[in-house]
Structures are given as C-alpha cells and as structure tokens.
Structure 1
Amino acid sequence: MSAVPSADVDANATLEARLARFPARQTELAKQRVLSYREADGAAANDALPLVLLHGIGSGAASWVQQLEALGANRRVLAWDAPGYGMSTPVAPESPVAADYASVLTEWLDALHIERCVLVGHSLGAIIAGAFAAVHPQRVPGLLLLSPAGGYGAACADVRETKRDQRLAMLNELGPQGLADKRSDNMLSSHASDEARAWVRWNMSRVIDRGYAQATHLLANADLAADLARFKGRVNVAVGADDTITTPAACERLALVAGTQLQVVPRAGHAGYIEASAAYTAIIDTFCRASAGQRSQ
C-alpha cells in the first residue's frame, strides 16, 4: 500500500472533522439487514421536502459532507451508503439490476417515514434514483441527476461483458486503495484543488470489494434511459464541462430522453459536487425549492 501524501493527511483531517458533525447511522431493515447513512436534520421539523443523496460507484455517503453542511440548515438532508458500501448490507444477487437497489431504497425510506423526497443521484447513483422514480413517481417530486451514468443494459452482450470484466479486473489487480491512487484524478478537472483531490481519494479508498463488484454488474445491466422514459415527473440533469467519464455529450442524450435541458457547470469534472461544491449546492438548492414550488434564494 502506498504512503498517504502529507497534504492528503492535512486535507482529510479537516474534512473528517467536518464530517464528524454527521456521524454514520444505521437503519435496520428486514431479514437482519442494515442501511448506513449520514444525516443533517437541523430542519427536520419544518415542511421542506427532504433531500436524499445517492453517491456513485467509487464513493460513499461521506462524499456529500459539503452539501450536508450547506443544505442541512433548511431541510432534512440524508446521504446513504448504497448496499455493499459503508456498513450497508449488500444486495443478494451477485449480478444485480437497478430494481434490486431501488427496492432497498424503498425499504429504507419507508423505515424513516419519508413519503416524498427530492432525489439526487450522482453517476451510478443516478441509475438507482431513476429506477426508484420510475416505480414510485408519486414519491419523487423532483429527480436531479448529476453526471449520470447511463449503464450498458441496452448495449450488445459483448460490450456489456467487456465493460464489466475490465472494471472487475482493475478492482482485482489494484484493490480499493490502488483504485484511489491510480483512478481518482480521473474524477476531477484540472481546476480541482488539492483538498478536493485528497477527498476523492479518501472516499474511493474506502469502497468495499464486494460492493464495488456488485455495483460494476449493476452498471453493466442497467438502462437509465429506459427508466427516464417511464418517469413523467420533474427532472434536471447537470454535468461538469470537463467531465471525461460521463461526458456532456452522453449526459445531453439522457437529458433529451427526460425532456429537459442539460445544465453544464464550468471548470468541473465528474465529481463536480466535491470540487465545485458551491456551484453544485446552488443547483441542488434551486432544484429543491422549485420542486416544492418555492422561490430559490
């Protein structure tokens, strides 16, 4: 395992101290399963719509700390660790589909008595958010997709298998820490701060092999466009101008399916909500208020 650069240690210590305000919690689900998450509930008693944040394949609930800080004063904000991440129990199938994760999301929201929420999905999290919204449109007054991964479910078998096997081989070769060391910079633009780079590495180094492998299968099996075509509610799609993973062109195609215009954020890469947190937090806040019929601040 490679040594952690001293700059990373300092940056991570700062962010971990901020993260301590939102300690990991666990909700018990059926069949002795649990779902771990972080929550900012300073405004849980008011009538603002709850905001639920779903992370991508190489991340976790902790990655949303800046949004928990900025948005938690005015509404209930929850960021989950997807099944197989953090302390969350993995889904049962080794090659799951989006419905498997959406079912867990449904069970978790039910356990927390959240009937309706604004749902934000980043990258792979967008696939899960889209699957949930397609089945439960009445529970999603707003669906916001940040750098959404479309999945390879509509591609031919050769493409699906190749994409899946390449990522699994990389996981087997490098492990989570190796992925963080070698792949985390791909998540960011050239404008990202050292602190943002350190935080992306921190989150990626903490993924769990089995959860990441199952999420890799999910990516190969999923077809977000099909779920967006079924969902007739309010959708927005945003992407960083410098995103090389889910490119603006790819996100534009998903926005067209959803019947919305793509919002492009300058000077941001794939993990835009980390490196350009003020811009993305403003996008999320504006969307939440519009979804609830409120004026944006």
Structure 2
Amino acid sequence: MSAVPSATADQPASLEARLARFPARQVELASQRVLSYREAASAVHAAHATYATHAASDALPLVLLHGIGSGAASWVQQFEALGASRRVLAWDAPGYGASTPVAAASPAARDYADVLNEWLDALGIERCVLVGHSLGAIIAGAFAVLHPERVAGLLLLSPAGGYGAACADVRDTKRDQRLAMLTELGPQGLAEKRSANMVSANASDEARAWVRWNMSRVIPYGYAQATHLLANADLAADLARYTGRIDIAVGADDVITTPAACARLALAANTQLQVVPRAGHAGYIEASATYTAIIDTFCRASAGQRSQ
C-alpha cells in the first residue's frame, strides 16, 4: 500500500451556491426511463455544437458514480477543478434525484450497469474514465466487466465490496438493519445520524455539512433498492474478472470501507492500494484537493497523457 500526501487547502464556502453552476439535467433513455445528472464541460467541448464532435479534444470524458447516501451534487468540487480540461459528468443513480428506479425491488449490479450503458449512449460517450465511490464502485465494476471497451480506466474510491459472497444470514442482517434505519429515521434523520461516520476527525464543518446535505436528499425507495444491491453484490468477483486498468484509493481514517477491506479488493484486482492520510469515507469531499489530484493523474495515465 502506498500513501499519498494529504490536502492542506481550505475548501471554499457556500458549496450549494457553487453547485448552481452545474444544474441538474435530465435525459430520456432508450428504455423510456429518465436519468438525471450534472455536468461540467471543458472549453473545447463547450465550443462544439454537438457532443459527437467532442472527439476533437483528446481528453477522455470522466464519469463519476456516487455512493448509497449521496448524489451527483456531491462532486461539485471535482466539477470545478477538472471541468476546465475535460468533460466531467456525474449521474444521480437510478432511484436518486429525478432518475427512474430500476425495475427490480432487489436488484443486481447489472441492473444499474445496463442503465449506465444507456446513459452513455444517450450522451454520445463511446469511452470514458469511470470513477466509482463506495456503492458506485460496485456499479462501476460490473459495468467494466460487461463493457470493457467503453472503459479507459476504472478508479474506485473507498469501494464497497458488497455481501454477495457472504452467507445468507449475514446478507439478510446487513440489509435488514439498514432498511430498518431508513424506515425509522427517514432521509433527514439518516443524514443526522450517519453523516458523521462519512468523514474523519480532520474534516471541516463545511465538509460535514455538505455530506449531510447530500445524504438528506436521498429518495427512500431508491435508497432501499441500493441497500438490496449492496447485499447482493460481490465486487471482488468482478474485479478478478476485469483485465483493464484499475486503481483503488481509500482514506486512512475510513471506518465504513476500511483500508483493510479495500486492501482485499485491491488484491482481487491485482493492483496497489493508495491510502490517503487524514481522510475518511467521503474523502473526495473532505480532502478534495488530494482526491481531485488522484482522479486527474489517473485520467491522464489512462489516456496516455502526461500528468500535470
């Protein structure tokens, strides 16, 4: 495991106001479902009339997949930092934001990967760098196995491994505990109770508030489906099958997907684990400068570009 430097820059205030620069959009997919997302387009991309002509830029699109208690808005700091050099997109997963839920009440990772494939089709994205955080890593891993030709690189941040390989009692218990908490607390109560676990003791008040803001906006039915996905998934099995470029990073103080758990996933993927000092589970929010540098370096390496 290799350590990377921790971020020292203070995060600017008023994240919600800054988010207004990247408004939520909606697109109808081939399956007649709606997918909501946010986007930061590079100057090169914005200069073109259509997405198809974006091939004139050599920067691969960057696609960001959030975790179970979050949404597209959580990536605002990455939009700001990386949107000037490439097209950066983050979806609201099916059942989140205005996105149509997947059909199955107890879905598998492939159900979400199929929607991701449709979304990329709708936006004219043939190939991208794919980043998955926590539960988003499960979807990203399944998509990479199903559509390796569309993934230039797979970067997993604090990946959740899922409980698909565990015994039925463990899977059922983990699932039912989370569902009971959702029923008891609702999204706002869930945010108040669970958001503190998402960051380290070093997180700023602003970072804590931003994690809470995003978590309080989850849709109960979509969150419940995602809870079933977590119980059903086995990310390690997908990573063992994927032969493309892959990196994994985790915060040293992550108490949800711990460095030890992520090390096991890195072993399954035959890759090295980056450990980020002084960061928790939502590292890309609380230590945005460090995580943005990790993402940028990975994007450039995936495209054969020199890292800045």
Structure 2 length-normalised TM: 0.92
Number of residues paired by the alignment? 287
Match of 2:119 in 1: 108
Q: Deviations over 1:138-190 (max 9, x none)?
A: 11110000000000000010000000000000000000000001110000000
Equivalent residue runs for 1:21-170 within 5 Å: 21-42=21-42, 43-44=44-45, 45=54, 46-170=57-181
Q: Indicate conservation of the 8 Å contact 1:12/1:202, yes or no.
A: no
Equivalent-residue separation in structure 1 for 2:112 and 2:251 (angstroms): 26
Which secondary structure state, in structure 1, belongs to the residue aligned with residue 275 of structure 2?
strand
Cα distance in 1 for residues equivalent to 2:268 and 2:81: 31
The question of 1:15 aligning with 2:26 is answered: no
Does structure 2 retain, via aligned residues, the 8 Å contact 1:56–1:122?
yes
- C-alpha displacement at 1:280, in angstroms? 0.0
Deviation at 1:12, TM superposition (A): 11
Alignment of 1:243-262 (within 5 A): 243-262=254-273
Unaligned runs of 5+ in 1: 1-10
Cα deviation for residue 27 of structure 1 reads 0.9
| Aligned counterparts of 2:147 and 2:107: Cα–Cα separation in 1 | 20
Note the alpha carbon deviations across 1:247-291, whole angstroms, 9 max, x for none. 000000000111110000000000000000000000000000000
| Contact 2:13–2:206 (8 Å) recurs in 1 | no
- Relative to structure 1, is the Cα distance of residues 278 and 13 closer, same or farther in structure 2, using a 3 angstrom cutoff? closer
Identity %, equivalent residues: 85
Partner residue in 2 for 1:3: none
Between 28-37 and 118-127, report the one with greater CA deviation.
28-37
Deviations 1:230-256 (A, max 9, x none): 110000000000000000000000001
CA distance in 2, matches of 1:89, 1:248: 33
* Cα root mean square deviation, aligned: 1.2
Aligned pair 1:218/2:229, yes or no? Answer: yes
Separation of aligned partners in 1, 2:130 and 2:290: 18
Residue type of the alignment partner of 2:194: R
- With normalisation by structure 1, the TM-score equals 0.95
Which amino acid letter does the alignment assign opposite residue 279 of structure 1?
T
Where does structure 1 differ by over 4 angstroms across 4 or more consecutive aligned residues? none
Give, as a single letter, the amino acid of the residue that structure 1 aligns with 2:177. Q
Alpha-carbon distance in structure 1 between the residues aligned to 2:229 and 2:126: 26
CA separation of 1:183 and 1:218: change in aligned 2, threshold 3 A: same
Q: How far apart, in 1, do the equivalents of 2:192 and 2:214 lie?
A: 11
Q: Deviations over 1:108-153 (max 9, x none)?
A: 0011110100000000000000000001111111000000000000
Of residues 276, 279, 289, the one that matches 1:278 is 289
Partner SS state of residue 14, structure 2: helix
Q: 2-side partners of 1:29 and 1:138: how far apart?
A: 21
Given the superposition, is the C-alpha separation of residues 66 and 162 from structure 1 closer, same or farther in structure 2, using an over 3 Å criterion?
A: same
1:32 Cα deviation after fit: 3.0
Kept in 2, the 8 Å contact 1:286–1:296? The answer is yes
Q: Which amino acid aligns with 1:161?
A: D
The DSSP-based 3-state class of the residue aligned with 1:141 is strand
